[in-house]
Amino acid sequence: MENNKSAKNLWGDYLDKHLEDAFVKDPKVEHFCDNEKDANECATLVVKGIKKATTHSLLGLQLRNESLPKIGDFRIVTDWSGQAKCIVRTTAVKLKPLFSIDESYAQKEGEGNKSLSYWRTTHVDYYTRELAEFKRKPTDSMIVVCEEFEKVF
């Protein structure tokens, strides 16, 4: 966050109104997705309150040595260029096999036409790109990390 002035300013504005969170460690600052179009679209969906979930591959997190999201975590959502758009807080984290994602969860992600088939196509495509650098491929039984969040600022 130290190099991102817009994120620092947004977090400061949030803390001015929420002193109860003054001792929370600085939130992650990041965009969704691995390309500009999708990252900007997802940021807009979160700002509008449509996108309320995201799904990580557990294997991808492990291979990059990233920690699992935890309930109560804050994140500053940016667009592709790093401009802070809003702050979200994690409300639920569930580990599930990819094949078990259902229509209602796909709707929480809020992307595209919100259907399960759209969700599945875009996520399997993403996981394929994500895992390719590690010479791995997504499978139907791989574990995904379903993270639900609420926009708090």
Tens digits of residue pLDDT in 31-81: 999 999 999 999 999 999 999 999 999 999 999 999 999 999 999 999 999
- Contact of 45 with 51, CB cutoff 8 Å: yes
1-30 pLDDT per residue, tens: 678 999 999 999 999 999 999 999 899 999
- Contact of 4 with 29, CB cutoff 8 Å: yes
The whole-angstrom separation of Cα 99 and Cα 104 is: 14
Closest CA to 119 of 100, 134, 136: 100
The whole-angstrom separation of Cα 123 and Cα 120 is: 5
Closest CA to 127 of 60, 64, 71, 78: 60
Residue 140 has pLDDT above 80, yes or no: yes
**Alpha helix ranges (H) inside the chain:** 5-17, 36-47, 58-63, 103-109, 116-132
How much is the pLDDT for 3?
83
The whole-angstrom separation of Cα 21 and Cα 23 is: 6
Residue type at position 39:
A
